[in-house]
């Protein structure tokens, strides 16, 4: 798979098409992330972020794409690829939208929820990569 780091265990990779059945896609991401070790708020955050990225594909990215997910010992990574290629690397980080703006919250929210977010643009598609550390350091009191 293009863009997946060397050394990734192939049997950990899962891929699903992005369709208007976002509930099924969220369930796939949730189940995979649980098996990878995410729990609680971080689990919710990655599911919400993946959902937002999938919505962007449906509304702005040509209407179809794929979600690919995998993990190693340290990170859960999700690639969301669209078929339009409108997103650019400088779209992240996205500034906080105006409270009265009708749109523009998706990438901003994704940036808040994930540990890292990047965008790669190539002819005919854009790839949004979301990453969550599986075992983050605990917050100090």
Q: Is residue 4 part of a domain?
A: no
Domain count, the chain: 1
Residue 96 has what pLDDT? 82
Query: Over the stretch 95-117, which tens digit does the pLDDT of each residue have?
Result: 787 888 877 788 899 999 999 99
Residue 135 has what pLDDT? 85
User: For residue 26, what are the domain limits?
Assistant: 12-133
Residue 37 has what pLDDT? 94
Q: Is residue 42 part of a domain?
A: yes
Query: Which CATH number characterizes residue 93's domain?
Result: 3.30.565.10
Q: Is residue 3 part of a domain?
A: no
Distance (Å, rounded) from C-alpha 122 to C-alpha 116?
20
Q: Is residue 20 part of a domain?
A: yes
Q: Is residue 140 part of a domain?
A: no
Sheet holding 75-82, edge to edge: 14-18, 65-71, 75-82, 125-133, 116-122
Cα dihedral 53, 55, 56, 58 in deg (nearest 10): 130
Cα dihedral 68, 34, 105, 121 in deg (nearest 10): -20
Q: What does pTM read for this prediction?
A: 0.86
Distance (Å, rounded) from C-alpha 29 to C-alpha 32?
5
Q: Is residue 85 part of a domain?
A: yes
| CB-neighbour burial class of residue 70 (10 A; exposed 0-12, middle 13-18, buried 19+) | buried
Query: Over the stretch 30-83, which tens digit does the pLDDT of each residue have?
Result: 999 999 999 999 999 999 999 999 999 999 899 999 999 999 999 999 999 999
1 has pLDDT over 80: no
Q: Is residue 69 part of a domain?
A: yes
Q: Is residue 72 part of a domain?
A: yes
Distance (Å, rounded) from C-alpha 79 to C-alpha 66?
8
């Amino acid at each position: 798979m293009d863009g997946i780091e060397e050394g990734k265990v192939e049997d950990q990779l899962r891929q699903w098409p992005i369709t208007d059945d976002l509930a099924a896609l969220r369930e796939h991401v949730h189940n995979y992330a649980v098996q990878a070790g995410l729990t609680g708020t971080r689990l919710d955050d990655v599911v919400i972020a993946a959902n937002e990225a999938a919505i962007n594909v449906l509304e702005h990215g040509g209407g179809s794409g794929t979600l690919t997910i995998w993990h190693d010992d340290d990170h859960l990574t999700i690639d969301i690829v669209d078929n339009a290629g409108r997103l650019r690397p400088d779209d992240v980080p996205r500034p906080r939208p105006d409270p009265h703006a009708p749109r523009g919250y998706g990438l901003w929210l994704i940036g808040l929820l994930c540990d890292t977010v990047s965008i790669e643009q190539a002819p005919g598609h854009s790839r949004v990569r979301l990453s969550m550390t599986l075992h983050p350091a605990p917050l100090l009191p």
